Structure formats: structure tokens, C-alpha cells
Chain A
Amino acid sequence: MFDIVFWILAAVAVGAALAVIILRDVFRAALSLVLLFLTIAVIYVTLYADFLAVVQILIYVGAISILIIVAIMLTHEVWRGSPSGKLRIPALVVSLLLLGTLVFTVVGTKWETSGEPPLQPTTAAIGSSLFGGGGFILPVEITAVLLLAAVLGAIVMIREK
């Protein structure tokens, strides 16, 4: 059952990602990016990451896609589309080389997978290892500083002189 779901999701995800770089209309590219984000949320569900799936929908589908669409509307360049630059052929060669190397390595490596059943539900475990002692409490606090710096930076950058 999961196999069929995975193949459908993989096809939709790759198609949506290709649409982002192929479509000439920037707004349609943004909409197919939203489709890609939704597909990735369902891929998290197939990996038993329920909390991450909700976070993906809240942050990516809810917030970042709105930010990107607002940016498209504020910069009146929709009519110009998204043309490729002079580096189109070298970029294609580089990304195909990277793809070949990655797939070759992934297929050739003997991964030591564990046969244990996955932990579920994950929300309580993620919370206790993020905020509990000996966990990731210091990175969480640094994250707060990072978000504050990002918000201040965005406000300063976008303010009218």
C-alpha cells in the first residue's frame, strides 16, 4: 500500500519541481511550488513523521508560499516570465553530474538500516528531546536569536528611507 502511495507522491513531486523551473509564468511556478510542498508533507506522513508533516504545512504551505507570492506581486515582473540566463547549458551539465554522482553513491552504498518499527506518535518524543535536559535546548535558544535577527534584518532592509 505504502509503495503505491510513494510512487504516486514521487511522480507528483518531481513533476511539480520540474514545473517550477520550466513554466515561464512566475505565478504558476509559485503555485506548483505549493503543490510540491504539500506533496512533501504527505511524504513525511509515509515516513511516520506526523509532527513534521503538520509543521511543513503550517510553515511552508502557509507562510513561505504566501511570502513568495507577495514578493511576486510586489515586483512587477510577472509579464517578463522567468527566462534562463547565459549559463543554462553549464548549469544543466553540473546538475546532471551531481545527480549522477548522488544516485550512483546512494545505490552503491550498503546502508545499515534498522529493522525496528518506527516510533509513533512522534510529537511527545520530539518535544522532550527539544526541551528536555541533555537534548537540543541550546540550539532551540540560539534559534530564537536567529529568528529575532532575521525579523529585524527584514524590517530594516525593507523600510522606506
Chain B
Amino acid sequence: MSVGLEHYLTLSAILFSIGLYGVLAKRNAVVILMCIEIMLNAVNIALVAFSRYVVPMLLTGQIFAIFVIVVAAAEAAVGIAIIIAIYRNRQSVDVDKFDLMKW
């Protein structure tokens, strides 16, 4: 059986689930950010695979993937700035200790 759309989508699903587990289970905020990047990349693989196999002449999926990459870059910059600001205040990047807004 030759590689087709299902294989790419399954790979994307596996990577997305790994990223989701990391986001939910990890305590280091930088590792959580890394896992969010894994999830965004998994979605990009699915978009490009759809673009390749469903509408090969339109490239819509690849353009969506470019926008996802742009938003991911902006998100990484702001996220890391927030993490470093919190680290300055609390000397920790452990998300269990980020309870400023808890009452």
C-alpha cells in the first residue's frame, strides 16, 4: 500500500497527541511552549497534506500553513517574554507556582 493522505493525517494526529500530553502534563513553562510548537507543526502537516492530495492545483492549504507559521512566531515571542517576566518576579518557571490570579 503506497503512502497516501491517511498516512500523513495519522502522523499529524500522533504528533498532535504527543504535544497535547506535554502541554497538559509538564510543569516547566518553556517545555509547555515547546509542546505547543509541536501541536502547531502537526496541524501544518495536516494542512499541507490536504493541499497536496485534495486540491493539488490551488495551494490553499500551503497558504494557511504560512499564516499558521506567522501566528506561531508571534506567539512564541510573546510567550517567551511573558515567561521571562514571570521568572523575574518569582524566580521560577514552574506553572504550579503561577497562582497570582487564583483566589
Contacts and interface: CB of A to CB of B under 8 A. Distances in A.
Chain A interface category by residue count: 35 or more
Contacts of B53: 111, 113-114
Given A17-B38, A21-B35, A84-B27, A59 B21 contact: no
A110 to B, nearest CB: 10
A90 B25 CA distance: 8
B41 A85 contact: no
Contacts of B4: 113
Question: Main SS of the interface on chain A?
Answer: helix
- What range describes how many residues of B lie at the interface? 35 or more
A18 B11 CA distance: 13
Interface of B: 2-11, 13-22, 24-28, 30-31, 33-35, 37-38, 41, 44-45, 48-49, 51-57, 59, 62-63, 65-67, 69-78, 80-85, 87, 92-96
Nearest to B55: A114
Contact of B74 (A40, A80, A136, A146): A146
B95 A147 contact: no
